[in-house]
Amino acid sequence: MTSNTYHQAPDAVAAAPPGCPMHTGWSPLDEDYLADPYPIAAALRDEHPVFYAAGLGHVVVTKMDDIEAVFMNPDVFASTNVQDPIFPLADEAAAVLGADDFDPVAVMSNRPEPDHARIRVYTRQGFSNRRLKALEEYMRERATVLLDQMIASGSPAEYVAALAFPLPAEIVFRFIGFPPEDDAMIKSWCGNRKAFSWGQPSPAEQTAIANGMLDYWRYCRDFVARRRDRRADDFTSELLDAHDADPDPSNGTGISYREVESVVYGISFAGHDPVTALLCNTLRCLLPRRDQWAELCADPSLAAAAVEETLRFESSQVSWRRITTRPTTLGGVDLPAGTRILLNFAAANHEPDVFDDPDTFDIHREKANRHISFGKGIHFCLGAGLARMEARIALELLAGRLPSLRLVEGQQLSFFPNITFRGPDELHLEWDAS
């Protein structure tokens, strides 16, 4: 893999920077942390705001001010590592990704300046109000169909399979332009990407995931080639129009054909997995707090505020990464060039210096949107508006149709072991028959 490839695995787990406080006994992959990261993240933050996690080889940053400083200084804290596997890859998986035709390039979250800004001009246009408006109608229609099916199958229901997984996947696939008949196949390739870049899969699992990524990349390339010959009203066609108008990146403004293919490759995962988690997390927060759920049912216009507080209180993304490009100091700790950094959103989103009574979920909280769950600065999440819209629509529909909705009592939630994305694997719901 070359330096501009989409995923680059580290050669080894990095050593601690000299003088940096260290934790040898904690990893974000620990079972108790996966089950409930918040009390542990708060204790870690209170002990050492910046520390090295030995098992992970990353320096962990826990305070909002420090995390924002990192995001706002991309020259020193580069994002080039955000899509990389955290641990070295097994040889067999590396061989799969070494295929001559596996050559997606870094384009958005992991591309440095000035290229990132050049490409973002085009991708931002794709999220125009006109396209989001058109998607909103489709979203409401599809959410209604999926909800009708869930209700018709009767209580109880498993929400991930019924709505939280299919809805965001279908929305982002239509946004890109993938045909509906390919949905099941594409979903099977993207689902386990989380394990590849943010988990610790076994060598056999890595190989299976790598094969899925290779198949998916080949599919993206074929799809973009079909769109090159025959445009439609979708994001991919817009990118191809932009490429036709200005195909040469070397002039500082154009977008290359490979970059178009790579944006398509990257956006499908970014666009559905954390939204699935957000849809579940809104219900995990609201349904046990019956007074706030009842308020929402009486006044569905509170849905947007409920989504925002969920993004703070129980985010679908509890961390993100950076790597230092030169020696620097953060939170009083000296960091050499090449230090891998884990920004701990779970700690910052519950920081008492930033949020009053941070461990209370409150849909009336002022400035809940001070959370860091979509990042900040030049890489701020491009799909934040889309994610908020999907979660709001799903909540409005559920509150309107199923006011008696509740979590099935006694269910044990499980969370896929990874350092960044957080939503339950399954969420069982029940309601009274009308």
Q: Give the distance, in angstroms, between the CA of residue 326 and the centroid of all CA atoms in the same chain.
A: 27
Residue 122's identity, in one-letter code, is Y
Count Cα neighbours of 344 within 13 Å in the Cβ-side half-sphere: 30
The yes or no reply on residue 385 touching ligand HEM (CB under 6 A) is: no
> Stretches 1-9, 22-30, 53-61, 274-282: which one binds ligand HEM (CB under 6 A)?
274-282
Q: Which residues contact 236 (CB under 8 A, 6 or more apart)?
A: 176, 177, 223, 224, 227, 260, 264
Q: Which of residues 76-115 bind ligand HEM (CB under 6 A)?
A: 79, 108-109
d(CA 232, CA 353): 49
With CB under 6 A as the contact rule, the residue among 9, 50, 210, 267 that binds ligand HEM is 267
The yes or no reply on residue 387 touching ligand HEM (CB under 6 A) is: yes
The yes or no reply on residue 376 touching ligand HEM (CB under 6 A) is: yes
Nearest 10 degrees: Cα torsion 53, 54, 58, 59: 50
Task: Quote the least distance from Cβ 108 to ligand HEM, whole Å.
Answer: 4
Pick between residue 57 and residue 271 the one whose CB is nearest to ligand HEM.
Answer: 271
Q: Which of residues 307-326 bind ligand HEM (CB under 6 A)?
A: 316-317, 320
With CB under 6 A as the contact rule, the residue among 379, 398, 405, 418 that binds ligand HEM is 379
Pick between residue 60 and residue 278 the one whose CB is nearest to ligand HEM.
Answer: 278
With CB under 6 A as the contact rule, the residue among 49, 373, 396, 419 that binds ligand HEM is 373
Q: Strands, DSSP E only, in 54-93?
A: 58-61, 77-78
Report how far apart the first and last C-alpha atoms of the chain are (Å, whole number). 58
> Stretches 8-16, 31-39, 95-103, 271-279: which one binds ligand HEM (CB under 6 A)?
271-279
Buried/exposed 12-29: b ≥16 CB within 10 Å, e otherwise = eebebbeebbebeebbbb
> Stretches 15-23, 198-206, 273-281, 409-417: which one binds ligand HEM (CB under 6 A)?
273-281
Pick between residue 90 and residue 323 the one whose CB is nearest to ligand HEM.
Answer: 323
Residue 60 DSSP one-character state: E
d(CA 222, CA 215): 11
The yes or no reply on residue 169 touching ligand HEM (CB under 6 A) is: no
The yes or no reply on residue 382 touching ligand HEM (CB under 6 A) is: yes
Q: At what angle do helices 384-401 and 129-153 cross, to 10 degrees?
A: 30
> Stretches 96-104, 203-211, 217-225, 375-383: which one binds ligand HEM (CB under 6 A)?
375-383
Paired strand residues for 51: 60
With CB under 6 A as the contact rule, the residue among 85, 166, 375, 423 that binds ligand HEM is 375
Q: Give the distance, in angstroms, between the CA of residue 127 and the centroid of all CA atoms in the same chain.
A: 17
Distance set, CA 46 to CA 63, 320, 323, 331 (Å): 9, 20, 23, 13
> Stretches 152-160, 287-295, 330-338, 380-388: which one binds ligand HEM (CB under 6 A)?
380-388
Q: Strands, DSSP E only, in 242-383?
A: 319-324, 328-330, 333-335, 340-344
The yes or no reply on residue 278 touching ligand HEM (CB under 6 A) is: yes
d(CA 256, CA 265): 14
The yes or no reply on residue 270 touching ligand HEM (CB under 6 A) is: yes
How many residues make contact with ligand HEM (CB under 6 A)?
A: 27
Pick between residue 34 and residue 389 the one whose CB is nearest to ligand HEM.
Answer: 389
Pick between residue 59 and residue 93 the one whose CB is nearest to ligand HEM.
Answer: 59
With CB under 6 A as the contact rule, the residue among 383, 397, 398, 418 that binds ligand HEM is 383
With CB under 6 A as the contact rule, the residue among 34, 275, 297, 399 that binds ligand HEM is 275
Asked if residue 419 lies in contact with residue 330, where contact means CB atoms within 8 angstroms, the answer is no
With CB under 6 A as the contact rule, the residue among 61, 70, 335, 386 that binds ligand HEM is 386
The yes or no reply on residue 120 touching ligand HEM (CB under 6 A) is: yes
Q: Find the largest Cα–Cα distance for the chain.
A: 64
Which residue in the block uniquely carries the two structure tokens 């080889």? 57
Pick between residue 26 and residue 71 the one whose CB is nearest to ligand HEM.
Answer: 71
The yes or no reply on residue 71 touching ligand HEM (CB under 6 A) is: yes
The yes or no reply on residue 274 touching ligand HEM (CB under 6 A) is: yes
Asked if residue 320 lies in contact with residue 343, where contact means CB atoms within 8 angstroms, the answer is yes
Pick between residue 109 and residue 206 the one whose CB is nearest to ligand HEM.
Answer: 109
DSSP H or E segment with residue 336: none
d(CA 393, CA 275): 12
Binding site for ligand HEM (CB under 6 A): 71, 79, 108-109, 120, 172, 267, 270-271, 274-275, 278, 316-317, 320, 373-377, 379-383, 386-387
